[in-house]
Amino acid sequence: MRFFCFHLMPYGALDLSWTDEHESAWVTLPNRYYDPKKGFELYNRYLDELIYADTLGFDGICVNEHHQTAYGMMPAPNVLAGALVRQTRNVRICVLGRALPLVNNPIYIAEEFAMLDNLSGGRLIAGFVRGIGCEYHASMANPGQSHERFHEAHDLIVQAWTRPGPFEFAGKHFHIQYVNLWPRPYQEPHPPIWIPSQGSRETIEWASHPDRRYTYLQTFSPIDSVAKYMQQYRDTAVAYGYQPTTDQLGWAVPVYVAETDEKALREAKPHAENFYAKFIKSPLEYRLPPGYTSMSSMKAMIESKFKYSLASPDMDALVSRGMIICGSPSTVVEKLEAYQARLGFRNLISMMQFATLPHELTMKSMAMFAAEVMPRLRSVGEPTGRPVRSMAAAK
Amino acid sequence: MAGQTHDFVTISGTRLELRRGGEGPPVLFLHGGAGNADWMPFMNRLAQRFDVIAPSHPGFDRSDTPDWLDSMSDLAYFYLDLLEALDLDGVHVIGHSLGGWLAAEIAVRSSARLATLTLVGAAGIHVPDVKKGDPFLWTPETLVRKLFFDQKRAEALLAQATSAEAADIAIKNRFTTAKLAWHPRFYNPDLRKWLHRIRLPTLVVWGAEDQIFPPAYGEAWRGLVAGATLTVFPACGHLPHVEKLDEFTAAFAAFINGAAQ
C-alpha cells in the first residue's frame, strides 16, 4: 500500500453557528465569516502538517481545488504546491486536482503543472477533476458543458505535454492557434494523471479506458459506494480487455489514530461530525446544477436525496459506514487490511486533518499512523503483473 | 374551448410537441424555462379570436433535444425556420420569461412574418444594480412559491400529484434552461445593441411582485424597444398570464385592437 497525506485546508476557525442563518457552507456563505489573520495561521499550519508528512515517510502529499467555501481554502492549489515543492525532498506532490472545465484556457493548467514538475524534478502527480457542482455556481461555468469541456481540456493538456509544438488545437470550446509549451514537463511522457471522483459511470468508463488507465480515486463516500465504484472500474477494464492493477485505484478517506480505540473515537468525534455537518453542507441545488450529471444520474440522486444527506451524521454511523477510519493503530491496521481486501486499491489518500481538528491532535495522529500503521501495511495490495502506464514514471 | 390539437410537427429535422387551437390571426406563444405542460386557460381565451400556436421549444417537454442546440441564437434561427415551415404571417408573438428573450432574439433577426410583440416578464437583458432571483439555487418548491404573489396558487400547484413523466420533463426543462441561460445569466449582452431593429407594436407586461425579474426589467424593456407600452399588474408575480388571467387577456385584446388601427 502507498500512503498519501491529503489536506483540504478547511477554514477550521469557522463560527459553527453559521447554520443558524445560512443554508450552505459553499458559494453563498458570507465571507465576513473569514478572518484573514486566522487564515494566515491556518495556511502556514497546514503547510507545516504536509511538510511533516514528508519527514514521516508518506509517499505523497496532496492538495486540491475548491472555490468560495469554508470547506477548503485552496482556490489555487498550485500556489501551495509551489510552496511544498521547495520544502520537501522525497514526497510526490499531488494536486487532486485542478477543475478543468472552469477555466477558459486550459493551457494555463498545462503550464502550471509543467512548472511544478520541472521545479520538483518529476515529483508531480496531476489530478484532473470536473469540480463539484457548487463550483459551477461559483464560477458561472455552464454545468451543461462540464463533461465536454473536461474531455476537451484534458486532450488539450495531454497534447500540449506530449506533442512537439507549436501546433494548433481546434476544439469546440478551446481553439488555440499556437500550442507550444514552455516548459515541457519533466516526467516522460508526462506526469501521472489521477482522477478523483465522487463516483460516476461516465468518469469510470473514461478513466479506465486502455488508452488512459488513469488512477481512479473514490472520494469521501460510504464504504458500499466505494466498493461499488471500484468494482465498476475493474469490470469496465476487464470489459475493455485488460486486468487493472491495484495501482489504478485509490481511496480518499479521513483517518484518525490515537493510543486506544476509545481515545481515538472521543478525540475525533466532534471534528469528524463537524466535517459532515458544517463543512460539506450545502443543499442539493448547490451540489447538482442542471446538466452537471446525466439526467438519469440526476434523477437517481434526487430520489436518493444524495449520499451526503445524513440527517445528523454521528460518529458511530460515520465509522460503521466507512466514512472515517478511526481507532488505535492495530484497529486501523485491521480495518485497512480488510477494506483493502474488499476494495482492491493500492493508494490510500488519507485525510489526516479534517474540519476543526486541531494541530496537536493532527500531528499526534499523523506520527502514530506513520510509525505504527504504515509499516504494517506496506506489503498489502502491492500490484502484480505489468505496471500501468500512468504510474510508469513513479519513483 | 374544445377543438385544440396536441400533436407533433417536424421542423428542420427536429420533432416538436405543439398545441394549437382557435381561428383567426396567428398568435405564437413562446414559453419560459418551465416549459409548456398544458393548454392553458389564457390560450383558451385567446383561441376565441386567434389561431393560438404553442410549441415546446427544442430541448423542452416532449420535443427533441437536437445536437445543434447550444444557444438562444440557435433557437431564434430555428423559429424563423418554423415560421416559414408553418407558413405563418402577421404573427402576434407572446413570449414569457426565457420565451420573451427568445421573441426579442427572433424579432431583431427578422420581423418579416410578425405583426406585434408581447413580452411578459421577459429575460434577455441585464439591468445594472437590480438584483434578479436565482432559480438555479432554489428548490423546486421554493421556485413555485416565488413564481406567484398569491401563495394559495402556489399551495394548490404544490398539492398536485406529479407523474413520473412530468418529473422527468421538469429535469429536462431545467437542463435546457441552464444550457441556454446559465452564463451570462438569463441574458445576451449583444441583444440590447440591436433592439432598435424591432419596429413592431410592442406590449411589455409585468407583475409588480415578480421575484425573478423585478419590474425594473419591464421599465428597461419599455425604454429599449421604440414605442413599447408597459403594463404592470399589482399583486402579481412572474406569471401574469396565469395569475392575472382576466387582466392579461383584456390588456392583450386592447393592445391588438390598438395596434390594428
User: Residue A383's pLDDT is what?
Assistant: 84
Helix/strand/coil percentages in chain A, nearest 5: 45, 15, 40
A2-391, which class in CATH? alpha beta
To the nearest whole Å, the CA of A136 is away from the closest chain B CA by 9
* Mean pLDDT over the full length of chain A: 94
The three-state secondary structure class of A149 is helix
pLDDT at B63 over 60: yes
* A192: its cell numbers: 501521472
pLDDT at A387 over 80: no
User: Residue A296's pLDDT is what?
Assistant: 83
pLDDT at A310 over 70: no
To the nearest whole Å, the CA of A283 is away from the closest chain B CA by 9
* Mean pLDDT over the full length of chain B: 97
The three-state secondary structure class of A327 is strand
Q: Distance between CA atoms of A234 and A204, rounded to whole angstroms?
A: 9
Instruction: State the amino acid at position A124 in one-letter form.
Output: L
State the average pLDDT over residues A25-51: 98
State the average pLDDT over residues A230-235: 96
- pLDDT tens per residue, range A197-224: 988 888 999 999 999 999 999 998 899 9
Is B171 in Cβ contact with A299 (below 8 Å)? yes
State the average pLDDT over residues A258-268: 98
Q: Distance between CA atoms of A234 and A352, rounded to whole angstroms?
A: 28
* A78: its cell numbers: 498550485
Which residue in chain B has the smallest CA separation from A301? B171
pLDDT at A315 over 60: yes
Assign A392 a pLDDT band (cuts: 50, 70, 90). Answer: very low
State the average pLDDT over residues A139-144: 97
Q: Count interface pairs A-B at CB distance under 8 A.
A: 51
Q: Distance between CA atoms of B98 and A32, rounded to whole angstroms?
A: 35
Q: Distance between CA atoms of A370 and A24, rounded to whole angstroms?
A: 35
Is B139 in Cβ contact with A285 (below 8 Å)? yes
Is A140 in Cβ contact with B185 (below 8 Å)? yes
Bridge-based pairing state of the strands A175-179 and A167-170: antiparallel
B137, B168, B178: residue with CB nearest A143: B178
User: Residue A390's pLDDT is what?
Assistant: 40
Query: By the CB < 8 Å criterion, does A286 face chain B?
Result: yes
To the nearest whole Å, the CA of A57 is away from the closest chain B CA by 44
| Spans of all domains in chain A | 2-391
* A206: its cell numbers: 473514461
Is B139 in Cβ contact with A144 (below 8 Å)? no
Q: Where are the alpha helices (DSSP H) in chain B?
A: 41-46, 72-85, 98-109, 140-147, 151-159, 164-181, 215-224, 240-243, 245-260
Assign A312 a pLDDT band (cuts: 50, 70, 90). Answer: low
- pLDDT tens per residue, range A93-110: 999 999 999 999 999 999
Query: By the CB < 8 Å criterion, does A140 face chain B?
Result: yes
Is B139 in Cβ contact with A284 (below 8 Å)? yes
pLDDT at A268 over 70: yes
CATH superfamily of B5-260: Alpha/Beta hydrolase fold, catalytic domain (3.40.50.1820)
Q: Look-up: residue for cell 495531454? A: A158
- pLDDT tens per residue, range B85-130: 999 999 999 999 999 999 999 999 999 999 999 999 999 999 999 9
Give contacts of B175 with chain A, Cβ < 8 Å: 144, 290-291, 295, 298
To the nearest whole Å, the CA of A289 is away from the closest chain B CA by 7
Assign A386 a pLDDT band (cuts: 50, 70, 90). Answer: very low
pLDDT at A333 over 80: yes
Q: Distance between CA atoms of B254 and B256, rounded to whole angstroms?
A: 6
Query: By the CB < 8 Å criterion, does A311 face chain B?
Result: no
What is the percentage of chain A residues whose pLDDT exceeds 90?
89
Q: Which helix (H) or strand (E) holds A318?
A: helix A315-320
Per the rule left: phi > 0, alpha: psi between -120 and 50, beta: everything else, B12 is: left
Q: Distance between CA atoms of A216 and A203, rounded to whole angstroms?
A: 9
Q: Look-up: residue for cell 507545516? A: A48
pLDDT at A74 over 90: yes
Is A295 in Cβ contact with B171 (below 8 Å)? yes
pLDDT at A389 over 60: no
State the average pLDDT over residues A383-388: 54
Query: By the CB < 8 Å criterion, does B77 face chain A?
Result: no
Is B177 in Cβ contact with A290 (below 8 Å)? yes
Question: What is the C-alpha radius of gyration for chain B, rounded to an integer number of angstroms?
Answer: 17
The C-alpha angle A349, A352, A353, rounded to 5 degrees, equals 125
Is B182 in Cβ contact with A140 (below 8 Å)? yes
From the list A118, A114, A122, the residue with the least C-alpha distance to A91 is A122
Assign A384 a pLDDT band (cuts: 50, 70, 90). Answer: low
Sheet containing B5-11: order of strands: B5-11, B14-21, B51-55, B26-30, B91-96, B114-120, B202-207, B229-233
pLDDT at A304 over 80: no
pLDDT at B144 over 80: yes
User: Residue B259's pLDDT is what?
Assistant: 85
